[in-house]
Structure 1
């Protein structure tokens, strides 16, 4: 009887300890949630502070340009005002002379006798000749040389500003990643260059090994190496193409079976932006997002940025760093590979290769 009582007491004590343990665990998780919420607030404040500082810097640059514009236009206005005053003086001189001549003509018309000698008539002719010479409009003009210089300096300043690499470009260039395409993953209708930097569509099936890693239902190829940490940026040349897909994928993306399952962005394993006949579309987990504001825009290069710790995938028109689309993916759960699809021939308009570029160097300014 006592043994049963002791066993019951022991079980009760174990349950109490387990309950206390779970309560401590719950309290720890609740505290962690509180810390995470505080971290979220802290990150938001820091980001807003940086944004404000950057905004102020751009406003200061704008003020400097606006002040320089004001000074330049003020100088031009002063020269124009001086030239207009000179013209007004010449007009006034001509007016006074015409008044005198009108009086003489009136006197002659009225038969008024004049006692002017030939010498006086000659002096009048001389005054008229000098007035016409001094008031020649071709002799009155602003300092055109200075105007041309100012315009030239303004053009050079604009060209200099346009030649500068956008600040976001400089940042992403510091994350430039070397990307080498894995020919053993390429669809048999793709030709991957020996260096692994281009993928080209061909109508001819290539004589390649049938291996599990190879895509056989869609025109995909992925990078040889993946990454599971850090920040990475790469660029792909897309000029002259009417169809392409670029993105990121886990190695678990289907390589065989139904075609749609292997397309980039159609499953939860990958993210991509697709370009087809002038229209851009973002894809992930089968969800399609049209990007109508980009319709008709063409870029020489497309940049892809991935922040592994930030769970961020961004696509940009690398020529001007124009944002195309960003995926906030949350926590990445494994190794990621760069992926691309050069697309089919698209009625003869899409034969050019997709080429991996050196993302540490800028494309030519358009």
Structure 2
């Protein structure tokens, strides 16, 4: 072996040490040389002199594109402010029209009441004048009689009128006087109408926000029980006594008269309404796609499992169901069973609300907050939701009908 292969260690180290001079003038020693791979890696992005013009041109183009995009964003921001102000102006004009209509109607109603008051007051003034005249006549006669009692000789010089009698001084009460009053019955009817209008207006104002999130619901034909017939547009459901000739698909309910919507809800907030007035017993709600479709046990029934939520009307009782727990909702003469059900879903918040769509009265809310009966954990939706519908077995099939309402504006 050559002699140079046995150099001292100190000599070996010194041969690999690189001494560089820092800008401050002090010496910095790097004990080991840079790896060739590291040198190649750090210098890989450095352009060659011949590539500099190309790189410069690309960077200028990128700068120009960036400046153009920034200008576009600034214009959008300016347009955003302008469009926002325009929208506010339009909304103000709409509400101003409502205010004007209400003010005009208020003035018309107040004028009507004032006219009634004037007419009634005029009649009472005439009667009051007549009775005042009668009172003056009585006072005159009383004074004359009192004078005659004190000075009989003088009274002979001024005799009483020939037609004067006690009977003529007695004025009979006219029963018609009691009927002279304002038309209170009409006013009561007016107040009832105005209260109903106010109630309907409040309901419609509340409903307008929900209509902004209206959801176009149609029925999934593959999920329908074979005795459920659909309308041509896929929004009407009718329970028939005859089976449809349809394939026995795994997604189809085979025992329960159920159907699911075709579109899934995976985000956002959505609202739809179902007309149930032609159905004596029904269930409306939402369900995961994993809801059981076979058999008649709880796994397939709406609201009787963790996969579904429902509002149910059966045998005159209105109830809300989830996870086989339920809440009884009042149905009275004053609060009859709703004819139209509104369903609102706010997916990310795990919120589900059932409304009486005619009065916008909240029938039941499922959410992480409203959990007196239902478990809190099941109000964070974990799967896609589908609108769900169920008929209960009627005595006379063919008269049960549900309709998904068209909420297009």
TM-score range, shorter chain: 0.5 to 0.7
Q: Give the equivalent residue in structure 2 for 1:338.
A: 387
CA distance in 1, matches of 2:159, 2:388: 103
Q: What is the deviation of 1:143?
A: 8.9
CA distance in 2, matches of 1:86, 1:300: 54
CA distance in 2, matches of 1:141, 1:191: 62
Structure 2 CA distance for partners of 1:333 and 1:259, relative to 1, 3 Å: same
CA distance in 2, matches of 1:161, 1:283: 32
Q: What is the deviation of 1:144?
A: 5.8
Q: Give the equivalent residue in structure 2 for 1:214.
A: 252
Q: Give the equivalent residue in structure 2 for 1:285.
A: 323
Q: What is the deviation of 1:331?
A: 2.1
CA distance in 2, matches of 1:140, 1:210: 79
CA distance in 2, matches of 1:227, 1:221: 16
CA distance in 2, matches of 1:141, 1:300: 43
Q: The residue matched to 2:336 in structure 1 has which SS?
A: coil
CA distance in 1, matches of 2:116, 2:222: 69
Asked if the contact 2:256–2:296 (Cα under 8 Å) also holds between the matched residues in 1, the reply is: no
Q: Give the equivalent residue in structure 1 for 2:131.
A: 91
Q: Give the equivalent residue in structure 1 for 2:198.
A: 161
CA distance in 2, matches of 1:197, 1:191: 10
Q: Give the equivalent residue in structure 1 for 2:349.
A: 310
CA distance in 1, matches of 2:215, 2:300: 25
Q: Structure 2: which 5+ runs fail to align?
A: 1-98, 368-377
Q: The residue matched to 2:311 in structure 1 has which SS?
A: strand
CA distance in 2, matches of 1:117, 1:333: 109
Structure 2 CA distance for partners of 1:234 and 1:298, relative to 1, 3 Å: same
Selected match of 2:402 from 343, 346, 354? 354
Selected match of 1:238 from 276, 289, 299? 276
CA distance in 2, matches of 1:152, 1:203: 47
Of residues 152-161 and 92-101 in structure 1, the stretch that sits farther from structure 2 once superposed is 152-161
Q: Give the equivalent residue in structure 1 for 2:213.
A: 175
Asked if the contact 1:201–1:344 (Cα under 8 Å) also holds between the matched residues in 2, the reply is: no
TM-score norm. by structure 2 comes to: 0.57
CA distance in 2, matches of 1:197, 1:236: 9
**Aligned pairs, number:** 286
Selected match of 1:194 from 212, 218, 232? 232
Q: Give the equivalent residue in structure 1 for 2:243.
A: 205
Structure richer in helix, relative to its length:
1
CA distance in 2, matches of 1:173, 1:278: 29
Asked if the contact 2:217–2:272 (Cα under 8 Å) also holds between the matched residues in 1, the reply is: yes
TM-score norm. by structure 1 comes to: 0.63
Structure 2 CA distance for partners of 1:149 and 1:301, relative to 1, 3 Å: closer
Q: Radius of gyration: which is bigger?
A: 2
Q: The residue matched to 1:299 in structure 2 has which SS?
A: coil
Q: Structure 1: which 5+ runs fail to align?
A: 1-60, 362-366
Structure 2 CA distance for partners of 1:291 and 1:148, relative to 1, 3 Å: closer
